[in-house]
Structures are given as structure tokens and as C-alpha cells.
Amino acid sequence: MENKITAITMKGLWSFIDINWTKIDPSVNILIGENGTGKSTLMNAIYALLKNPCPINKDFYADYISIKIGDKEIRSDIEQPELSPFLVEKLNKEEDIFSYVSDKFNLMQNTDATKIPDDMMKFRDTINKLFSKAHKKIEFSDKGGFLIRDDKQMIVDPEKLSSGEKKMLIFLYKVYLSNKRPFVFLLDEPELSLSIKWQQYLIEILLDFNPNCQLFIVTHSPNIATRGWMDKVSFIEDCITNL
């Protein structure tokens, strides 16, 4: 529990509500609610505060945001220069699929193809299982990086992947890069462009790559929680107090 978020408070959001999210699990957290109730605003504020624990002048559309993590409380209205940035990542932040994933895979450059690490092989095999119905697969290049091929062995430009394929590729690769460290991963409506089956398996796939992470998911899709995660769901309406 040392590096896990235990409570999140947003005071005076838009000058008329407080948000107090206290039902927080050390592994999986799913937040649902009506449009316009502050879910995405809250996620953006969490990301900004963990990335920079001393944003005294940051505009969160609120009086302040407070995050309890371990034995620390981080507040956006109090200078805490002794705090270092926390391990946090937005998984569905807009990325250029080719420049992000292809360039990252060049970390493999000059790696002997017969000595590819097991976790990298696991990443490849997981993606290939997901992509199999679309007759696509990834393979490692002898020159470093990776290639995507169709079942006719033609190379597929990563930019030609579907929106859902691009999204899942980036989700998994960012979690893979976390190297099982205690990251906080934020996902805002990850169901967009994903098939129902991929939505249902998303959480367990991410946790399989990093069982030490803490997930915070904002969603309008019940499919995200259907494979054993219903007890991790919080309703933002239950977290809101009107001022």
C-alpha cells in the first residue's frame, strides 16, 4: 500500500461541488457517471498533480485537489518541493502510433533475435492473439524495432491499423514499458474504438503485464467491469457534495 492512492478530493470544482473519492482500491478503480459531472476533469487533475507535485499556480477549475498516497498528502495549493514526480501515465493520451511504438521498439536495435527477452516475447504474443481475427501479426526485425504483417506476409503501415488496434497497441506497450513498477495508469473512456471483447478483457490484460500498477478508469461502458470488477465501480454522483 506504500505507493498506492487511497483517497482523492477536489474542493470547489467549478465553484459549486466537492468531489471526495474514498472508495479506492489498490489495484483497480472504475468511475462512472453522467456526462459533465467532472470525471475527465478529475482525471486530468490527478495526472497533472502527480506529474508535478508542486503546481501551486495550476488551474484545476477548483480551489484545490488533494491526493493521499501512502503516508503523504499532495495538495495543489501547498508548495511541497521535497516531493518528486510520481510514476503516472495517461494510457489513452493522443499519440502518433508510428513515432511512439516504432521508435520505442528501436530500443531493441542490435539485439540478437534469438535472445529476445521473455517479457518482450509475451508482449508480441499477446498482441498477435488480439490481432489474429484481423489476420495481422507483429514480428521483430533483425534491424531493430518491429514489423506488422498481414497473413500474406505483406508489411502493414502502423498508421493503417484500425483505431482500436492502435489504441490497444499503445495501451499494452506503455504498460510493458513500466517494467512492473508501481505506476498509476489513467484511462479516460478506453472503450472508444475497442470491441466488446477487448473491453471485457482490458483490465486483466493490463494487470497481467504489470500486477503492481494501480488503474483509474473513467468509462460509460459496463463491459469494462463485467469480468469480475463490478465491486471496483464507484459512481461519481456518490462522491459529489453540492456547495
pLDDT tens digits for range 44-54: 999 989 988 77
How far apart CA 1 and CA 108 sit, in angstroms, is 34
Q: In what order do the strands lie in the sheet with 5-13?
A: 72-75, 64-69, 5-13, 17-21, 240-242
Q: In what order do the strands lie in the sheet with 233-235?
A: 88-90, 184-188, 214-218, 28-32, 233-235
| Domains of the chain, residue spans | 1-87+181-190+212-243, 93-177
Check: pTM over 0.85? Answer yes or no: yes
pLDDT category of residue 110 using cuts at 50, 70 and 90: very low
Are β-strands 136-140 and 72-75 bridged in parallel, bridged antiparallel, or unpaired?
Answer: unpaired
Q: What pLDDT score was predicted for residue 94?
A: 55
Q: Which residue has the higher pLDDT, 53 or 99?
A: 53
Q: What pLDDT score was predicted for residue 108?
A: 43
Nearest to 186, CA basis, from 38, 31, 36, 9? 31
Which DSSP symbol is given to 7?
E
Q: What residues have CB less than 8 Å from 102, skipping those under 6 apart? A: 145, 146, 158
Q: For residue 142, what is its C-alpha cell?
A: 533483425
Three-state SS across 111-125?
Answer: CCHHHCCHHHHHHHH
pLDDT category of residue 93 using cuts at 50, 70 and 90: low
Q: For residue 39, what is its C-alpha cell?
A: 470525471
